[in-house]
């Protein structure tokens, strides 16, 4: 069982998050969980199994993703894999998790992390691109960043192959449109600050 502590939450009760088929368990302070998203409070007060057990049940989620989320609750910059491909996969899955559970600040953190990786001249693997375009909504900042990445970063664009593009037709269509817009004078969104893509309560 994973448990993270924080002195400012020492006197608050904890909630157990039960994850995956193996039912991995994570103990999280209630107040910290509720401050991350109203989804957790709503779920615990739903009158369903979660209410009686006072547990968050996530049977189809990846324990690795939830562990990073729990780390983020207590640490502004949690640990990711040092291997580029694995790191992008973790970020993509974490963003999908945050979007589904309405964790806005976590989504914004991931946007910031992607900008940081772009500054390091990393290249997103096509596996994470395919995941993003399969599991995230059309207007997700994560998807917009990937399009800009391959539109403006020549080293990344050179990694694209016909077979890779055929796997994700929606990505291919949006990439072509972005390249046309680039020729028409559009600006690289990754040249701005990450805050320009942050979600707020109003959007």
Q: How far apart are alpha carbons 87 and 117 in whole angstroms?
A: 10
pLDDT at 3: 45
- Residue 181 and residue 150 in one domain: yes
What's the chain's length in residues?
Answer: 203
Number of domains in the chain: 2
- Residue 62 and residue 135 in one domain: no
Where b means 16+ CB within 10 Å and e means fewer, 56-67 reads bbbeebbbbbbb
When pLDDT is averaged across residues 179-195 and rounded to a whole number, the result is: 95
Position 5 confidence tier, pLDDT thresholds 50, 70, 90: very low
Position 116 confidence tier, pLDDT thresholds 50, 70, 90: very high
End-to-end CA distance of the chain: 37
Domain boundary residue, one of 56, 78, 100: 78
Position 203 confidence tier, pLDDT thresholds 50, 70, 90: low
- Residue 103 and residue 66 in one domain: no
Q: How far apart are alpha carbons 126 and 17 in whole angstroms?
A: 31
Cα 179 to Cα 7, 63, 65, 131, 158, distances in angstroms: 50, 38, 33, 22, 14
Query: What is the model's pTM?
Result: 0.91
User: What are the residues whose beta carbons fall under 8 Å from the beta carbon of 177, sequence distance 6 or more?
Assistant: none
- Residue 169 and residue 108 in one domain: yes
Full residue range of the structural domain in which residue 123 is found: 80-203
Q: Is the pLDDT at 64 greater than 80, yes or no?
A: yes
- Which pairs from 146-150 meet CB under 8 Å and 24+ separation? 146/171, 147/171, 147/174, 147/175, 147/178, 148/178, 148/188, 148/189, 148/190, 149/118, 149/123, 149/124, 149/190, 150/124, 150/175
- Residue 147 and residue 132 in one domain: yes
Domain boundary residue, one of 51, 78, 105: 78
Domain boundary residue, one of 15, 47, 78: 78
- Residue 90 and residue 68 in one domain: no
């Amino acid at each position: 069982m994973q448990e993270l502590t924080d002195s400012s939450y020492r006197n608050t009760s904890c909630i157990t998050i039960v994850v995956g088929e193996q039912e991995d368990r994570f103990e999280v302070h209630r107040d910290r969980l509720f401050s991350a998203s109203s989804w957790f409070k709503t779920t615990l007060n739903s009158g369903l199994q979660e209410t009686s057990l006072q547990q968050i049940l996530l049977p189809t989620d990846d324990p690795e993703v939830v562990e990073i989320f729990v780390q983020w609750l207590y640490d502004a910059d949690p640990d990711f894999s040092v291997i580029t491909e694995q790191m992008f996969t973790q970020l993509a899955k974490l963003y999908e998790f945050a979007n589904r559970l309405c964790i806005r600040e976590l989504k914004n953190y991931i946007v910031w992390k992607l900008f940081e990786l772009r500054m390091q001249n990393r290249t997103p693997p096509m596996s994470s691109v395919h995941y993003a375009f399969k599991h995230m909504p059309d207007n997700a900042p994560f998807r917009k960043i990937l399009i800009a990445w391959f539109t403006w970063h020549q080293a990344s664009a050179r990694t694209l192959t016909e077979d890779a593009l055929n796997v994700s037709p929606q990505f291919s269509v949006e990439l072509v449109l972005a390249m046309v817009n680039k020729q028409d004078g559009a600006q690289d969104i990754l040249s701005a600050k990450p805050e320009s893509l942050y979600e707020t309560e109003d959007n």
